[in-house]
């Protein structure tokens, strides 16, 4: 479920009219619903309530400080992948002792920072990384808690660019070598073997690959508990969300919007399938979902610059571009695009919806049908809360967009639009060019 719906003719986030937000803060602007995030978090927890659960929100999906504080208030830890993410959690007042540090290339400085902040565990992706963590922990005179990320070689049946659990992906240690890696880890003086981790990919729309991966791991995990006394099993993140008809789906139960029989994943079906496999292990279970928590809780507001009627096509040129929301350009992903003011008396328009960036791939949608809109009118990209702002950049010397959080009838600007001066603050003209 999410909290974006039309009240009268105007799209609202909770009780806030999104056009008012656009008027105040301009466009492009991301808007997040705090109530949707809270409900997603609690719903996921409820769905696996039979387990000793620790949710580590994968903040790479959206690392806005206000959202990190919201997750922290809800009791979440974080799934971290860089020193920058560690520092963001600190800045937001979040709990690093419940957080895990993942990633294939942790630097010595990042490992040190994580140890100083007493992260719950490192998710180790290779033997050389294990040696590096052991070394850094030694210099600090502490033991580093670790889990090894095991690559289960399971097909997540998702987009190739976001698959991580196949043997040809760079992630994790293959299951058949993992036993030896644990033996090696146990011998290292500054390492405390604490758990095991898997993550097979993102935007999984069915439960089956999760079940396959967990089933494949269970005997190995039980052995680790017996032989190494591990206390937790992280099953990663990856739960998919509905992108098509995302708006309508908020008005019903959004998962029921899928064509019957396709078995779109839900927290409930995920919990129902996995709880019986995980409970007998008697371990703490970590979850690292990112997209599920925030994806449908955010939209990107944009304004129409022009409607350009071409020879064979119409182009609706908007003020957001691939630098603000890169997912369509990068993964051909679908985002529903809707007008903020709905007017059923208008004619339909079929157009490519494009941004101002000088690249043909700066295209959000091809031959998309929506009501006719013109210059100055406002649109929303739905389901933009995950990997939206987080992947935004400044290509074409554009400014990073603004971010707003809504709860009920309150809303607040939580990240002001970048200024031009900020973008050049670290640059200088060298003396030899003066
Ligand atoms: N845990 C690990 C180890 C991960 O690598 C990821 C995502 C997650 C958790 C969270 O996955 P989620 O629950 O959000 O699916 N930029 C892409 C998605 C990349 C995901 C990378 N890893 C997109 O926009 O679709």
Task: For residues 341-368, give the mean pLDDT.
Answer: 96
Contact 2, 334 (CB under 8 A): no
Q: Does residue 167 carry a pLDDT above 80?
A: no
Atom of ligand 1 nearest to the CA of 289: 13
Atom of ligand 1 nearest to the CA of 204: 15
pLDDT band with cut points at 50, 70 and 90 for residue 156? confident
Q: Is the distance from the beta carbon of residue 149 to the nearest atom of ligand 1 less than 6 Å?
A: no
Q: Does residue 257 carry a pLDDT above 70?
A: no
Q: Is the distance from the beta carbon of residue 30 to the nearest atom of ligand 1 less than 6 Å?
A: no
Q: In this predicted structure, what is the pLDDT of residue 264?
A: 87
Q: In this predicted structure, what is the pLDDT of residue 248?
A: 72
Atom of ligand 1 nearest to the CA of 290: 14
Q: Does residue 383 carry a pLDDT above 90?
A: yes
Q: Is the distance from the beta carbon of residue 129 to the nearest atom of ligand 1 less than 6 Å?
A: no
Mean pLDDT, all residues of the chain: 94
Q: Is the distance from the beta carbon of residue 102 to the nearest atom of ligand 1 less than 6 Å?
A: yes
Q: Which of 99-108, 151-160, 309-318 has the lowest mean pLDDT?
A: 151-160
- Tell me, in angstroms, the distance from the centre of ligand 1 to residue 85's CA: 14
Q: In this predicted structure, what is the pLDDT of residue 8?
A: 96
To the question of whether residue 289 is assigned a binding role by annotation, the answer is yes
CATH, domain range 34-290:
3.20.20.10
Q: In this predicted structure, what is the pLDDT of residue 376?
A: 98
Q: Which of 13, 56, 358, 363 is catalytic?
A: 358
- Tell me, in angstroms, the distance from the centre of ligand 1 to residue 348's CA: 36
Among residues 239, 268, 233, which one has the least CA distance to residue 58?
A: 239
- Residue 245 vs residue 94, higher pLDDT: 94
CA 64-210-47 angle, to 5 degrees, is 65
Task: For residues 360-389, give the mean pLDDT.
Answer: 97
To the question of whether residue 327 is assigned a binding role by annotation, the answer is yes
Nearest Cα residue to atom 19 of ligand 1 = 162
Among residues 165, 186, 304, which one has the least CA distance to residue 235?
A: 165
Return the percentage of the chain with pLDDT > 90, whole number.
Answer: 90
Atom of ligand 1 nearest to the CA of 333: 25
* Mutation choice for ligand 1 from 40, 106, 291, 364, CB with most ligand atoms inside 8 A: 291
pLDDT band with cut points at 50, 70 and 90 for residue 93? very high
* Mutation choice for ligand 1 from 82, 171, 238, CB with most ligand atoms inside 8 A: 238
Q: Is the distance from the beta carbon of residue 329 to the nearest atom of ligand 1 less than 6 Å?
A: no
Q: Does residue 253 carry a pLDDT above 50?
A: no
pLDDT band with cut points at 50, 70 and 90 for residue 252? very low
pLDDT band with cut points at 50, 70 and 90 for residue 343? very high
Contact 318, 303 (CB under 8 A): yes
To the question of whether residue 238 is assigned a binding role by annotation, the answer is yes
Q: Which two tokens stand for residue 432?
A: 């030899």
Q: In this predicted structure, what is the pLDDT of residue 249?
A: 65
Contact 353, 367 (CB under 8 A): no
Q: What is the pLDDT of residues 24-69, one digit of tens each?
A: 999 999 999 999 999 999 999 999 999 999 999 999 999 999 999 9
Within 13 Å of residue 422, how many CA atoms lie on the same side as its CB?
9
Task: For residues 255-268, give the mean pLDDT.
Answer: 62
Q: Is the distance from the beta carbon of residue 201 to the nearest atom of ligand 1 less than 6 Å?
A: no
Q: Is the distance from the beta carbon of residue 289 to the nearest atom of ligand 1 less than 6 Å?
A: yes
Q: In this predicted structure, what is the pLDDT of residue 325?
A: 98
Q: Is the distance from the beta carbon of residue 59 to the nearest atom of ligand 1 less than 6 Å?
A: no
Return the percentage of the chain with pLDDT > 70, whole number.
Answer: 97
To the question of whether residue 331 is assigned a binding role by annotation, the answer is yes
Backbone angles phi, psi at 200, to 5 degrees: -105, -10
Q: What is the pLDDT of residues 276-335, one digit of tens each?
A: 999 999 999 999 999 999 999 999 999 999 999 988 999 999 999 999 999 999 999 999
- Tell me, in angstroms, the distance from the centre of ligand 1 to residue 27's CA: 27
Q: In this predicted structure, what is the pLDDT of residue 170?
A: 80
Task: For residues 407-411, give the mean pLDDT.
Answer: 98
Is 13 tagged catalytic?
no
CA distances from 254 to 7, 54, 243, 370, 426 (A): 18, 25, 10, 21, 45
pLDDT band with cut points at 50, 70 and 90 for residue 262? low
Q: What is the pLDDT of residues 125-135, one digit of tens each?
A: 999 999 999 99
Q: Which of 98-102, 151-155, 242-246 has the lowest mean pLDDT?
A: 242-246
pLDDT band with cut points at 50, 70 and 90 for residue 159? confident
Q: Where are the domains of the chain?
A: 34-290, 296-424
pLDDT band with cut points at 50, 70 and 90 for residue 1? confident
Q: In this predicted structure, what is the pLDDT of residue 310?
A: 85
Which class is 296-424 in CATH? mainly beta
Q: What is the pLDDT of residues 192-240, one digit of tens each?
A: 999 999 999 999 999 999 999 999 999 999 999 999 999 999 999 999 9
């Amino acid at each position: 479920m999410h909290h974006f719906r039309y009240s009268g003719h105007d799209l609202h986030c909770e009780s806030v009219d999104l056009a008012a937000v656009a008027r105040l803060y301009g466009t492009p602007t991301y808007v997040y619903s705090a109530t949707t995030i809270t409900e997603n978090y609690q719903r996921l927890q409820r769905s696996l309530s039979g387990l000793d659960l620790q949710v580590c929100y994968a903040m790479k999906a959206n690392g806005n400080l206000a959202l990190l504080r919201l997750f922290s208030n809800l009791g979440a830890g974080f799934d971290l992948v860089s020193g920058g993410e560690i520092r963001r959690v600190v800045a937001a007042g979040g709990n690093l002792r419940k957080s895990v540090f993942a990633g294939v290339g942790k630097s010595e400085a990042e490992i040190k920072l994580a140890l100083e902040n007493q992260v719950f565990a490192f998710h180790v992706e290779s033997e050389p990384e294990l040696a590096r963590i052991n070394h850094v922990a030694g210099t600090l005179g502490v033991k580093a808690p670790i889990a090894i990320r095991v690559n289960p070689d399971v097909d997540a049946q998702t987009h190739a660019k976001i698959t991580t659990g196949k043997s040809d992906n760079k992630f994790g240690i293959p299951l058949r070598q993992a036993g030896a890696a644990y033996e090696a880890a146990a011998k290292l003086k500054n390492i405390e073997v604490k758990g095991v981790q898997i993550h097979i990919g993102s935007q999984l729309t069915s439960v089956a690959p999760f079940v396959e991966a967990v089933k494949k791991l269970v005997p190995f995990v039980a052995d680790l508990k017996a032989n190494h006394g591990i206390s937790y099993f992280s099953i990663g993140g990856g739960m998919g969300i509905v992108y098509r008809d995302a708006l309508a789906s908020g008005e019903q139960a959004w998962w029921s919007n899928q064509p019957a029989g396709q078995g779109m994943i839900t927290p409930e079906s995920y919990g129902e399938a996995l709880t019986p496999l995980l409970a007998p292990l008697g371990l703490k279970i970590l979850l690292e979902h990112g997209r599920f928590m925030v994806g449908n809780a955010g939209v990107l507001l944009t304004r129409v610059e022009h409607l350009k009627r071409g020879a064979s096509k119409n182009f609706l040129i908007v003020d957001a571009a691939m630098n603000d929301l890169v997912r369509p350009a990068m993964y051909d992903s679908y985002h529903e695009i809707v007008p903020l003011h709905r007017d059923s008396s208008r004619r339909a328009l079929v157009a490519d919806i494009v941004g101002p960036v000088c690249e043909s791939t700066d295209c959000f949608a091809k031959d998309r049908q929506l009501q006719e809109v013109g210059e100055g009118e406002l649109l929303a990209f739905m389901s933009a809360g995950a990997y939206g702002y987080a992947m935004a950049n400044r290509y074409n010397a554009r400014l990073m967009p603004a971010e707003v959080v809504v709860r009920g009838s309150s809303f607040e600007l939580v990240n002001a639009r970048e200024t031009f001066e900020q973008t050049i603050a670290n640059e200088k003209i060298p003396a030899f060019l003066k």
